[in-house]
Structure 1
Amino acid sequence: MEDTIAAVATAYGEGGIGIIRISGEEALSILNKVFQPIKKHIKKSSGDKDSFKPDSIGITIGEPIVNRRLTYGHIVDYHTNEVIDEVLAVYMKAPYTYTTEDVVEINCHGSIVSLRKVLELILKSGARMAEPGEFTKRAFLNGRLDLTQAEAVIDLIKAKSDKSFDVALGQLEGALSANIIEIRNLLMDELVNLTVNIDYPDEDIEEITYENLLNNLLQIGDMIQKLIDSADTGRIIKEGFKIAIVGKPNVGKSSLMNALLKEARAIVTDIPGTTRDTIVEDITIKGIPVKLIDTAGIHETDDTVEKIGIEKSKESFNEADLVIFILDSSQPITEEDQHIIDIVGERRILVLLNKTDLGLIMDEIALRQEMPGALIIKTAVKDGQGIKDIEKEIENLVYNGEIKQKGNTFITNVRHSNLLISAKSALDDAVNMINLGEALEFIEIDVKRSFEFLGEVIGETVSESIIDEVFSRFCLGK
């Protein structure tokens, strides 16, 4: 028999409600030990129905606990008969629960003291403290969720934007699992054909042809590659798109930061070098979580503090998914601008020709020749000109120019991405074997490897150590 486990399922701290979850065969008996159901009877007074006042309140102790019905009562320490808290409790009978076991949830007042006292009493009554993620782990082990769906629970909790929430919810509902299962079924068909032809070569069966096998494996490989190709966008949706704003002092970096944030977060003055350190803000642009980094102006200086800020600026754009390089278009390119152009290199870059309201003096043609891979937008950030164009380009860069619908499947998990790459590599090995005319036995080995790597994604063939590692990332109570 599995232990009955318990933990606080809501975040610690002050709140209106805090929930304690219990799961296991002893969940109901533990609830019966610590919970005293109460039913209040209120008798209406005679008189104006619009000015209702209770005439009397009666109480019935020991109301029966009914499956899936919220019951009012007290948590009582049965050793001392002390009332610990006034709560609402619900018992949910297996198998139609989160863990597929008997589950109890107790809605306490959301104070740390109340939750601690109630949980201590439950643990003394026969439950043990749940490990991080153990409720979801039981849901996985009991077959209610596969491993990708279980991992989606973490992503839902940590979602930073509507889009990341939608992707996680789709994964929880089985969108990624359905893709993996479809690919595995196709591989299983090929494995069956290979096995039959290897084991029963003299039987009256349809002989497998290298040409058909090659075409089928190439099509399956394309399906896997499509998922792999979604990983970069998936990572951005999950973790955020890192944008570093760079440029020499006083070109409008802080003004852009404020315009995108739609608030005055960074100090804006006409004095060069106002920003002496990196400022990092999390925002959402077109549904995309963005980590926006306003850097110190990159230029030659003898100021020790400014030098430190400039080094941080260089580190920031080295780690960024996108560099927004701002130039003062009312002036020719300066040595400071050229220095930044030289160190930016071939990174993904969006160039803003700012201060166009002051007149465009900069040689745009020469700039395009020097930075042929850059996107260039003309702006007057202080007046809000070009902000919508910048947001649109960010959206295009994240989605590679395609508007993604809610139902799209993205790979947002590094574990999934690595396994898909391994599965594709094994399939590529099989394709090479076919092209070399190798025996079916050797081809079967590589196809089976691909099949097993995909099984690890959804937890069909995953080791116990990997399962433990996955669920160790969960918080207590989930």
Structure 2
Amino acid sequence: MDWEDTICAISTPPGEAAIGLIRVSGPEAIRIVQQVFRKKPDGSLEGQPSHTIHYGLVVDPATAEVVDEVLLSLLRKPRTYTREDMVEISCHGSPLLLIKVVNLLVRHGARLAQPGEFTKRAFLNGRIDLTQAEAVMDMIRCKTEAGLKIAFDQLQGKLGKEIKSINDQLLSLLAHIEADIDFSEQDLQVISMEEVKNKLVEVLAQICKLLEGWEEGRILRDGVVMAIVGRPNVGKSSLLNAILQEDRAIVASTPGTTRDVLEDWANIRGIAIKLMDTAGLRNTHDPIEIEGVRRAKEAIEKAHLVLLVMDASQPLQEEDHMLMDLLKAKKCIGILNKTDLSEKIEEKKVVERLPNTSLVRISATKHIGLDLLLDAIRDEIFHGQVVVGETPFLVSSRHRQAIEKAHQSIYQAILAIQSEMSSEFLALEIRTAMDHLGEVIGTTTTEDLLDWVFGQFCIGK
């Protein structure tokens, strides 16, 4: 891939829309666009200032055919997204029309952009670090307000600044240690080993604080999977519909109505949750229902949290007991449904079988107790309210793995001091920690790593 190429791509999502945006970036961006753009009232972009918008027509020079009436944003380097000359063409949002404009640009010297190439150029040209680049896709994909806030903070450099601060502290220590090594024959100590150890302990505490937020950060970004299970006809599908506030699942009094796993996303107390409504679990000879039961058990295995629905208007059945045994090792909330009817369930037996499980009383069809259930779901996942505060959340497993390796190297450096090992060993561990932290922000990279990160992007970004 030649970074001297000028690239172009459609940046708006596929499909019809009022406006479609085409991005062009690179050293020849303005010259290439000028060949197909007729500015009104005069026809040139030459000498026009940066960050200005121009009205005109896209014209095929070979045929003089007018392709579209557009607004063109002229952005001169370095104050652009990529730090290269850029042009953004706002066309009418016809997919066919957008493709015609892109083909014109390619014919006149541009190259189709690779996935994430605009953001990759922003990173390589030093406008953003790697955590900020990854936050671009997190912003696009986030499902909740909290996830959006974390992604925006990361885009603004919050995590990158924290990592750089830790790296700078290690660099300062390393400089002192290497000075000690250089002047060892003169018996001149620049910094004592006790001072180095104390500083490393402080840095280790900062890294531990970052790692502590990993699980919560991952949930806020990616969400969790929650399965709704129970024997047939206890109100699982009614509960799904009540949570989604729409008739997503067919509800009928006939047991076994749900034969497959229905999936949908819901925003519950700021948490993105993938809901799975499963077939009723019971012994059956119906081959289709048997397959539904098998898939329901698979859903239980995949789920981070299980809602066990029981019919409060009936005594506990054999299938209820079987499910309680099946869920003893899972994170679970017990739901006593149909509490608007006369209650016959033995709640004490449920508590005895699932002693560490929260019980919530609801009526899914009457929408009674749903707020209590939603609160219980949030508390079960987060053990209370999660506040996106001053400390940045880790949301990427890549970040976590690199920071854990840095943590291990710093810990080994502290052990090296306690074991009175030579300063060379100490310096090696600190350099290794810095390399791992550099992987997070992109100061230490490989082409494979960059290909993996930016390969997850859409083409126009």
Q: Which category describes the TM-score, using the shorter chain as reference length?
A: over 0.9
Task: Indicate whether 1:349 and 2:338 are aligned.
Answer: no
Which has the larger Rg? 1
SS of 1:381's equivalent in the other structure is coil
Deviation (angstroms), 1:123: 1.2
Deviation (angstroms), 1:195: 2.1
| Alignment partner, residue 33 of structure 1 | 35
**1:43-442 equivalences in 2 (<5 Å):** 65-201=48-184, 202-210=186-194, 212-405=195-388, 409-442=392-425
> In the aligned structure 2, how far is the partner of 1:389 from the partner of 1:113?
50
Q: Is contact 1:71–1:88 with CA below 8 Å preserved after alignment?
A: yes
Q: Is contact 2:8–2:105 with CA below 8 Å preserved after alignment?
A: yes
| Alignment partner, residue 18 of structure 1 | 20
Quick one: which amino acid aligns to residue 303 of structure 2? A
Q: In 2 relative to 1, CA 291–127 (structure 1 residues): closer, same or farther, beyond 3 Å?
A: same
Task: Indicate whether 1:8 and 2:10 are aligned.
Answer: yes
Quick one: which amino acid aligns to residue 163 of structure 1? A
Quick one: which amino acid aligns to residue 67 of structure 2? I
Q: In 2 relative to 1, CA 218–351 (structure 1 residues): closer, same or farther, beyond 3 Å?
A: farther
SS of 1:307's equivalent in the other structure is helix
Which range moves more in the overlay, 363-372 or 246-255?
A: 363-372
Report sequence identity in percent: 40
Q: In 2 relative to 1, CA 176–262 (structure 1 residues): closer, same or farther, beyond 3 Å?
A: same
> In the aligned structure 2, how far is the partner of 1:152 from the partner of 1:234?
13
> In the aligned structure 1, how far is the partner of 2:53 from the partner of 2:124?
28
Q: Is contact 1:327–1:351 with CA below 8 Å preserved after alignment?
A: yes
SS of 2:375's equivalent in the other structure is helix
Deviation (angstroms), 1:15: 1.5
Deviation (angstroms), 1:206: 4.3
SS of 1:281's equivalent in the other structure is strand
Q: In 2 relative to 1, CA 157–83 (structure 1 residues): closer, same or farther, beyond 3 Å?
A: same
Q: What is the aligned length? A: 457
Deviation (angstroms), 1:63: 7.7
SS of 1:356's equivalent in the other structure is coil
Deviation (angstroms), 1:151: 0.8
> In the aligned structure 2, how far is the partner of 1:408 from the partner of 1:438?
34
Deviations 1:196-234 (A, max 9, x none): 333323344344234x43343233223222222322222
Q: Is contact 1:326–1:354 with CA below 8 Å preserved after alignment?
A: yes
Q: In 2 relative to 1, CA 446–384 (structure 1 residues): closer, same or farther, beyond 3 Å?
A: same
Quick one: which amino acid aligns to residue 274 of structure 1? T
Deviation (angstroms), 1:435: 3.7
> In the aligned structure 2, how far is the partner of 1:407 from the partner of 1:388?
29
Quick one: which amino acid aligns to residue 31 of structure 2? S
Deviations 1:16-45 (A, max 9, x none): 111111111111111221111113xxxxxx
> In the aligned structure 2, how far is the partner of 1:102 from the partner of 1:203?
56
Which range moves more in the overlay, 108-117 or 224-233?
A: 224-233
Which range moves more in the overlay, 299-308 or 11-20?
A: 11-20
| Alignment partner, residue 446 of structure 1 | 429
| Alignment partner, residue 452 of structure 2 | 469
Deviations 1:31-89 (A, max 9, x none): 221111113xxxxxxxxxxxxxxxxxxxx655864422211111112222221211111
Q: Is contact 1:346–1:373 with CA below 8 Å preserved after alignment?
A: no
> In the aligned structure 1, how far is the partner of 2:108 from the partner of 2:45?
21
Q: Is contact 1:67–1:93 with CA below 8 Å preserved after alignment?
A: yes
Deviation (angstroms), 1:367: 2.8
Q: Is contact 1:239–1:289 with CA below 8 Å preserved after alignment?
A: yes
SS of 2:40's equivalent in the other structure is strand
Q: In 2 relative to 1, CA 108–245 (structure 1 residues): closer, same or farther, beyond 3 Å?
A: same
Q: Any unmatched runs of 5+ in structure 1?
A: 40-59
> In the aligned structure 1, how far is the partner of 2:64 from the partner of 2:237?
63
Quick one: which amino acid aligns to residue 122 of structure 2? A
> In the aligned structure 2, how far is the partner of 1:372 from the partner of 1:124?
70
Q: In 2 relative to 1, CA 386–435 (structure 1 residues): closer, same or farther, beyond 3 Å?
A: farther
Q: Is contact 1:295–1:309 with CA below 8 Å preserved after alignment?
A: yes
Q: Is contact 1:167–1:406 with CA below 8 Å preserved after alignment?
A: no
Deviation (angstroms), 1:147: 0.5
Q: In 2 relative to 1, CA 61–145 (structure 1 residues): closer, same or farther, beyond 3 Å?
A: closer
TM-score (norm 2): 0.93
Q: Is contact 1:170–1:407 with CA below 8 Å preserved after alignment?
A: no
Deviation (angstroms), 1:161: 2.2
> In the aligned structure 1, how far is the partner of 2:66 from the partner of 2:191?
76
SS of 1:216's equivalent in the other structure is helix
Runs of 4+ in structure 1 off by over 6 angstroms are none
> In the aligned structure 2, how far is the partner of 1:333 from the partner of 1:397?
24
Q: Is contact 1:243–1:321 with CA below 8 Å preserved after alignment?
A: yes
Q: Is contact 2:332–2:358 with CA below 8 Å preserved after alignment?
A: yes
> In the aligned structure 1, how far is the partner of 2:93 from the partner of 2:253?
50
| Alignment partner, residue 47 of structure 1 | none
